[in-house]
Amino acid sequence: MARAKAKNPVVIEAGNETTAPPDPLQDRAPKILSASVPESTLLVLHRDSNLVLLLSIWQYVPIQRRSGRKRKEPEPFASNALADWLWSLYRVDHDSIAKLLGKTFPAARIVRRAQRLRLVYPDGTIHPRAEHYLRAATSEALNEMGVVREDRKDRKKREEQERKKAEDAQREATEGGGPDATE
């Protein structure tokens, strides 16, 4: 469940499609925001199903750079102020979140919690520890539902065993040692 990096938005001008210039701050955001996320933050994630739902769809949430925001960047040592400043430059589409997760989903509150915990980034990615947690939770949920996920190595091994079994059955049938053969 690797997160794809968000692409630059497409801008349509007088019928011509062009790609908007990259946002250099958006590329710095994960580094700035993930600087001090303790592992214990995952306990909050583990106990908050709304937070887990938000992280699972975060890559699909439209996030736009606000125009006209020229506030001065705070000092680097004021990490909370820096995170608040960074997020003040972007607008998260809470309506899209509500459409994806249901009208009663408290999008603004949960987004703010995820931002404060520094689990989400303006480029559509999430903190690596949260990504790991989501992969594990997804695997566990699929197992509980009886859906078995097979990794590539297991699938190749199973396919090889099935191929050998089919070859053995074919060989026995051609040599006369099939299931209907009598001694």
CA distance 132 to 138: 10
* Domain residue ranges of the chain, discontinuous segments joined by +: 10-144, 150-176
CA distance 106 to 101: 10
**Which pLDDT score is estimated for 173?**
87
∠ at Cα 46 (3, 100), nearest 5°? 50
**Which pLDDT score is estimated for 104?**
87
Partners of 175 in beta bridges: none
In terms of pTM, does the model score above 0.85?
A: no
Mean pLDDT by 10 residues, the chain (183 residues): 43 44 58 69 89 94 81 62 81 93 90 91 88 90 77 77 90 72 52
Query: Number of helices and strands (H, E) in the chain?
Result: 8, 4
**Which pLDDT score is estimated for 12?**
36
**Which pLDDT score is estimated for 77?**
55
